[in-house]
Structure 1
């Protein structure tokens, strides 16, 4: 079985660390890759064999160079990437940011919470969303 790969792009080092800890808490077997901005994310996705593509992409909305929305739009134009579930994560809860992300192809727009437990909840829910059912594939335990 293909490992469950998650690519995360966030320019904040503390946020990357926290997201890593939460994802490990959800499931130790996740194959995690982290990128400091959308440009690095897109470079990490380029020319990658199909079997090494991520199962899910999570990108911060506001990053230097290429933001999460730009990376989302680029990925949806690339045949090998367009079907990978892409989530935008942001401190913003502005309706225009949410709508533009969803209209551009994001599976969901995740507002960064203030607590570890809330981040665990939203990331676990996001991962389970990919499987299209209400039965959690991954459960915090």
Structure 2
């Protein structure tokens, strides 16, 4: 019998509507997921600092452009700490600027995705993100 446990996912985006759409898409594929949503990069670090090592998220999804701290800055800070090395980090942004993509991947992002325009595309992207993180 399979052990069904909640899968913790951390999502950081300053757009409340985007947070809700991403959450819905992820829950369509992984109903046992528990999503922790924050609105900026500083809140990502504060949230993670409060967690014990065995409670770290299975996946971190970051927007590139956020107040107080961009996704790339969060990646840089997490990259310097061994405890976050095995946590997959993905950027999900409205901008597909090659410079941003390179910057994020060089700082530890597993993948960089541009936010899709339709819910169907977002659902497909959610499935891909969960697969990359070996959640599904």
| Counterpart residue number, 1:111 | 114
Determine the C-alpha separation between the residues in 1 that align with 2:6 and 2:55.
9
Could you say what secondary structure the match of 1:58 adopts?
Answer: strand
Higher helix share goes to which structure? Answer: 2
| Counterpart residue number, 1:46 | 49
RMSD: 1.3
Misfit runs of 4+, over 6 Å:
none
Do the aligned residues in 2 keep the contact of 1:5 with 1:55 (CA within 8 Å)?
yes
Give the paired residue count: 133
TM-score of the two chains, using structure 1 as the length reference? 0.89
TM-score of the two chains, using structure 2 as the length reference? 0.92
Determine the C-alpha separation between the residues in 2 that align with 1:82 and 1:47.
17
Could you say what secondary structure the match of 1:80 adopts?
Answer: helix
- Unpaired runs of at least 5, structure 1: 132-136
- Unpaired runs of at least 5, structure 2: none
2:31 pairs with 1:28: yes
| Counterpart residue number, 1:60 | 63
Describe the superposition over 1:21-53 as per-residue Cα deviations: whole angstroms up to 9, x where unpaired.
111111110011000001001100003111211
Pairing 1:51-130 to 2, within 5 Å after superposition: 51-130=54-133
Determine the C-alpha separation between the residues in 1 that align with 2:30 and 2:54.
20
